[in-house]
Amino acid sequence: MERHPEYHLDISFSFISPEAVLARIARDEAGERRFYDLRLDVSHLSLLRSLEELLCLETLKGVEKFWYQIEVVKRVIRDFRGRAIFADEVGLGKTIEAGMAIKEYLMRGMIRRVLILAPPSLVSQWQEEMLSKFDLNFVSTDQVDPGKDESFWERERLIIASISLAKSRRHFARVIRNEYDLVVVDEVHHLKSRSTLNWKLVNALKSRFLFLLSATPVQNNLVELFNLITLLKPGLLRTESKFKREYVKRGDARTPANRDKLKELVREVMIRNTRSLVDVKLPKRFASTIIVPPSEIEQEIYQKLSRLVRERYKDGAGLSKVVSNNLLREAGSSPYALESSLAKLDGSLPSASVKEILGLIHSLNGTEKGVRLLELINKGKGKKLIFVHYLKSLEYLADLLAQAGLDFVEFRGGMTAAQKDGAIDSFRNQVDILLSMESGGEGRNVQFCNTMINYDLPWNPMRIEQRIGRIHRIGQTRDVFIFNFCLRGSIEEYILQVLDKKINMFELVIGEMDAILGNLPREADFEDIVMDIWLKSQSEEDLREGFNWLGEEMLRAKEGYEETKQWDEVLFSDDLGV
Amino acid sequence: MERKPLKSLVKEVLDVGGCLVEENGDLLEVVVTPEIAGKLGLKEHEILYFTPQESRNGQFISYSSDILDSISELMEDKGHFCKVHLPRLYLKKERLDQIISQKLSLANSVLRSSRAVERTVSYLLLNFKYSAISEEKKEGIITVVVNELTLASPGEMMSTLLKGYYEGSRKEWRVEVRRPLEEVFSAACKVAEHEIRRELTDFVRRLDRRLNKDVARIEGYYGTLKEEVEARIQKRGLVGDDQERELSRIRAIDVELKRKIKEQRDRYSLRVNVELLNAIRVTMLASLVILRIRRKNREKRLELVWNPLLKDLELPACEGCFRPTGIFYLCDEELHHICPRCHECPSCHKAVCRVCYPQACPKCGGKFQER
């Protein structure tokens, strides 16, 4: 069919000029300044009352606010009366939207007690974001063990809890005993079935307002949608059998029978923006893995440590998983990061082995990764953000860069806010290299840089995403380049094979990794799975097998996510945006 | 602008309205006249509290409280207009020629001379509230500033002014020359319109998208109806009167489609009501730069201000759209100084002065849209 021309609104303006104002101006008849300010404040009051203006916007820190996010907050509060599904496509900032709505409610004095339920892996991220961006000091179940702190659920006003913990037999009854003003549930596709404890917990919570967050709210069938909407507005879709009769095609649980009517109903509780709808484009990401052959000494250090950790862990001889994990991650970063932890463990590890490894570290004269890093830096101009997890590795790199005559600034924990701002300013205006620890610029804008180097690699993919998110986010206009360093034969090399080669993690959109991890059948963290494989492997063959298995699981999880994403796109199309 | 906490705002308004207000920690104790009590729905002696956890006697006030609907009535006619004068600031008097040549580009004229004099100039800062109403509504408040002598609109000035960088002096300062208020206000309305259009960009885009979606749906529907009629003609092999009858049906469908599209466009059309809330007149000493510009043996005097607050020359306002412009043309008819957009017909691209010809192009007859 012939495509119609694009229509534009007819816009007309009419001005009203009250005589009371104009006559005074004409006569130059001025009143007091404070009354002028007050009249303006009173006029703004009406906008605040009708939610045309939000109170929270001025208070946000380091948050780039986009128009559609502001619209979402207004609609959720004004039109949805605080009970809604935030279903924006990944990468558009659902957490920011929810945070803004929480802050707005708090500032308006409409809520006091807030409970955020998130998957365990996201609890600390929520806490960090609420504090750094919204100045909201939530207490989380990562910080406090509510099992030991009897009055935790009753006492705290702002709680971020792992949903797994909250639904546990020990806590369920105590969590639901309290009344909340607002409950926020992240990744609500885990609430898809009414037989799950997740669903039962949220259903049992007493709360005036309820935010449900997920980029893919329904995954397998339309009844999941019924289950979510029933949490928000019981009865809107009537009973499950009536819902199925009216809205689900017979014999096909994924196809709506009455699409338009269903959409109308869903529109009452769900907002879903897509990038195309809100005209947000994210540039591409390009990733390169740089596998560095270790020097003989480096290889010896890594192998000896690996062997030692495996043996001690297997024997149950005083080396916990956490300590083992840390030692191996330090070794993957740089031998200098390993040195001090190893020295501290001299009592719990065989002294001879520790001394031998420390001796090898002392005999080192730099690292092969360091050499390759300098080569990479010297290859191209432009700003580069180098991430490193450990302070000792950062200090080593700082020496290395200084010796090579390269100008750089450091960004590390322990610096004051002013020092951090100064570092970012000088990275923006003067030097081309920012050497940053994990907290690199959280909440600070470094999008003027489009190249990131992971000198070491976190094992938790969400941590990697957080690093990438510093430069690859809405507002970045140039393609983003990511360089990942790892030593040949290290755990990081295996991890990169899974994340980069198998599922192309570095080319995903921010937020997608989280969705993929959520699709893994095991509840254990990716990091734990990696550690298990490493500790249990006796040979290279075992390692390859173990990581191949993990790669396949991740691939299946990714395919599952993509299938769901496509289905949700078809199901909701662009009809539920602001 | 930083928002005042609700409690402070309520206290100030009640104060202004003649109520007796005492602050007591988180509370306000208020004594009001029976008339005000009736107006606001309060008792004559009332306790107001602003944080929800306090469950004591009195009224809890939040942004949702009804009392706020009527509170503005207590302002009566106060706060419509005030004046401030800026303290004496450094005035640039030298090397202004250099700045003029850097900032201004005279497209079809030449600068004959320039000189600077010290003058007290005044600006009007006007606050407008707008309500944009279509299928949905959006409201906001914008502030515009207009130089009352040159009609320039140095918007950058506002961020400094709003920071309170002035003395609240009530001394009378003589402003030697300013344009009639009608002219200043008319320029301010134009500037306000641009500013509101800018603020409404995303709102309009959203409505545009919905309008086009609705039109596409309607076109799809009527397109299917037409296809059905066409298929009927084909299938039955209709000719002559029978065919004509069906073809007239198609023509009727087209007419109906046009009507439906117009209906949609009307439904989505956006009406923006703008109301002047209040204004403030700011006066200060500035360097007034007087330029003599020549075009085809005719000369125009143009006045610009070197603004000591901005430490920069204010760009002249285009006489067509009142937007600041660094490049300008003088029109042949009246020597209006206009920006490139107001100097060209969007249809035939020929030179035309949109101040002299506001409605349509005298060369091609093309109607001008709102800019």
Task: State both tokens at A325.
Answer: 């994990």
Interface probe with B: pick from A40, A50, A65, most Cβ of B within 10 Å: A40
Residue B130's nearest CA partner among B53, B58, B200 is B200
CA distances from A168 to A171, A192, A200 (A): 6, 18, 11
**In terms of domains, do B261 and B190 share one?**
no
CA distances from A239 to A242, A245, A246, B361 (A): 5, 10, 10, 65
Helix axes A240-247, A222-232, angle to 10 degrees: 130
A255/chain B closest Cα distance in angstroms: 22
Q: Which of B12, B134, B280 shows the shortest C-beta gap to A9?
A: B134
**In terms of domains, do B147 and B247 share one?**
no
From the CB of residue A298, how many other CB atoms can be counted at a distance below 10 Å? 24
A78/chain B closest Cα distance in angstroms: 11
**In terms of domains, do A328 and A377 share one?**
no
pLDDT at residue B53 in the model: 64
At residue A97, the 3 state secondary structure works out as helix
Phi-psi group of B199: left, alpha or beta (phi > 0 → left; psi -120 to 50 → alpha; rest → beta): alpha
**In terms of domains, do A396 and A422 share one?**
yes
**What percent of chain B lies above the pLDDT cut of 90?**
60
pLDDT at residue B293 in the model: 94
- Contacts (Cβ under 8 Å, ≥6 apart) of B95: none
**In terms of domains, do B96 and B191 share one?**
yes
Average pLDDT over residues B216-233: 92
Instruction: For chain B, state the CA radius of gyration.
Output: 29
Tell me which chain B residues have a C-beta less than 8 angstroms from the C-beta of A30: 81-83, 170, 281
**In terms of domains, do B290 and B221 share one?**
no
Tell me which chain B residues have a C-beta less than 8 angstroms from the C-beta of A52: 138-140
**In terms of domains, do B142 and B284 share one?**
yes
Question: Which range, of A292-301, A413-422, B53-62, B115-124, averages the lowest pLDDT?
Answer: B53-62
Select from B269, B284, B318 the last residue of a domain.
B269
Q: Pick the most confident of A265-279, A291-305, B24-38, B148-162.
A: A291-305
Considering only the C-alpha atoms of chain B, give the largest distance between any 2 of them, rounded to a whole number of Å: 92
Q: Which of B64, B265, B277 shows the shortest C-beta gap to A43?
A: B277
Phi, psi of A137 (to 5 degrees): -90, 80
Q: Which domain holds residue A192?
A: 61-280
pLDDT at residue B173 in the model: 58
Please state the domain count of chain B.
3
**In terms of domains, do B124 and B93 share one?**
yes
Direct distance between the N- and C-terminal alpha carbons of chain B, in angstroms, rounded to an integer: 29
Query: What is the interface pTM, i.e. ipTM, of the complex?
Result: 0.89
Tell me which chain B residues have a C-beta less than 8 angstroms from the C-beta of A6: 208, 212
Interface A-B: count of C-beta contacts within 8 A: 195
- Chain A residue closest in CA terms to B208: A8
Q: Which of B53, B77, B82 shows the shortest C-beta gap to A32?
A: B82
Q: Which of B124, B265, B277 shows the shortest C-beta gap to A7?
A: B265
Strand ranges inside B64-109, DSSP E: 81-85, 105-106
B108/chain A closest Cα distance in angstroms: 33
| Tens digit of each residue's pLDDT (9 = 90 or more) over A192-201 | 889 999 999 9
At residue B67, the 3 state secondary structure works out as helix
**In terms of domains, do B95 and B176 share one?**
yes
Task: State both tokens at B362.
Answer: 């005298």
Q: Which of B2, B80, B274 shows the shortest C-beta gap to A15?
A: B274
A101/chain B closest Cα distance in angstroms: 15
Report the alpha-carbon angle A563-A569-A574, nearest 5.
170
Tell me which chain B residues have a C-beta less than 8 angstroms from the C-beta of A50: 139
Task: State both tokens at A530.
Answer: 């990696």
What number of residues does chain A have? 578
**In terms of domains, do A358 and A370 share one?**
no
**In terms of domains, do A261 and A182 share one?**
yes
Q: Which of A9, A17, A25 shows the shortest C-beta gap to B208?
A: A9
**In terms of domains, do B131 and B280 share one?**
yes
Q: Which of A15, A42, A108 shows the shortest C-beta gap to B71?
A: A42
Question: Which range, of A250-254, A546-550, A567-571, averages the lowest pLDDT?
Answer: A567-571
**In terms of domains, do B163 and B240 share one?**
no
Residue type at position B44: E
Q: Is the pLDDT confidence value at A444 over 80?
A: no
**In terms of domains, do B90 and B171 share one?**
yes
**Mean of pLDDT over chain B:** 89
At residue A164, the 3 state secondary structure works out as helix
Average pLDDT over residues A416-440: 85
Query: Which residue carries 């004559």 as its tokens?
Result: B44
| Tens digit of each residue's pLDDT (9 = 90 or more) over A205-252 | 999 999 999 988 888 889 999 999 999 998 888 889 999 999 998 888
**In terms of domains, do A379 and A481 share one?**
yes
In a domain, A10, yes or no: no
Say yes or no for a CB contact (<8 Å) between A53 and B265.
Answer: no
In a domain, A490, yes or no: yes
| Tens digit of each residue's pLDDT (9 = 90 or more) over A316-340 | 666 777 888 899 999 999 999 999 8
Confidence bin at B25 (pLDDT 50/70/90): confident
| Tens digit of each residue's pLDDT (9 = 90 or more) over B298-319 | 999 999 999 998 889 999 999 9
**In terms of domains, do A378 and A346 share one?**
no
In a domain, A11, yes or no: no
**In terms of domains, do A343 and A423 share one?**
no
Give the DSSP per-residue string, B123-190: EEEEEEEEEEESSSEEEEEEEEEEETTT----TTHHHHHHTT-SB-------------HHHHHHHHHH
| Tens digit of each residue's pLDDT (9 = 90 or more) over B66-123 | 888 888 889 888 999 998 888 777 887 778 888 898 899 999 999 988 899 988 999 9
Q: Is the pLDDT confidence value at A1 over 50?
A: no
Whole-angstrom distance, CA of residue B312 vs CA of residue B290: 15
In a domain, B92, yes or no: yes
Residue A117's nearest CA partner among A184, A172, A52, A50 is A184
Say yes or no for a CB contact (<8 Å) between B208 and A33.
Answer: no
Tell me which chain A residues have a C-beta less than 8 angstroms from the C-beta of B202: 67-68
Please state the domain count of chain A.
3
**In terms of domains, do A256 and A322 share one?**
no
Q: Is B91 in contact with B286 (CB distance < 8 Å)?
A: yes
**In terms of domains, do B162 and B294 share one?**
yes
In a domain, A48, yes or no: no
Residue type at position B190: K
Task: State both tokens at A227.
Answer: 């289950």
Whole-angstrom distance, CA of residue A325 vs CA of residue A261: 53
Burial of A526 (0-12, 13-18, 19+ CB in 10 A): buried
Task: State both tokens at B326.
Answer: 């660094």
**In terms of domains, do A213 and A144 share one?**
yes
Tell me which chain A residues have a C-beta less than 8 angstroms from the C-beta of B52: 109-110, 112
Whole-angstrom distance, CA of residue B263 vs CA of residue B147: 43
Report the alpha-carbon angle A453-A458-A461, nearest 5.
100
**In terms of domains, do B223 and B255 share one?**
yes
Q: Is B307 in contact with B314 (CB distance < 8 Å)?
A: yes
pLDDT at residue A318 in the model: 63
- Chain B residue closest in CA terms to A15: B274
Average pLDDT over residues A164-176: 95
**In terms of domains, do A312 and A378 share one?**
no
Give the CATH number of the domain where residue A510 resides. Answer: 3.40.50.300
Whole-angstrom distance, CA of residue B16 vs CA of residue B12: 6
From the CB of residue B21, how many other CB atoms can be counted at a distance below 10 Å? 17
- Chain A residue closest in CA terms to B135: A9
Tell me which chain A residues have a C-beta less than 8 angstroms from the C-beta of B63: 45, 48-49, 55, 108-109
Select from A311, A346, A362 the last residue of a domain.
A362
In a domain, A16, yes or no: no
**In terms of domains, do A183 and A89 share one?**
yes
Q: Which domain holds residue B226?
A: 202-269
Tell me which chain B residues have a C-beta less than 8 angstroms from the C-beta of A79: none
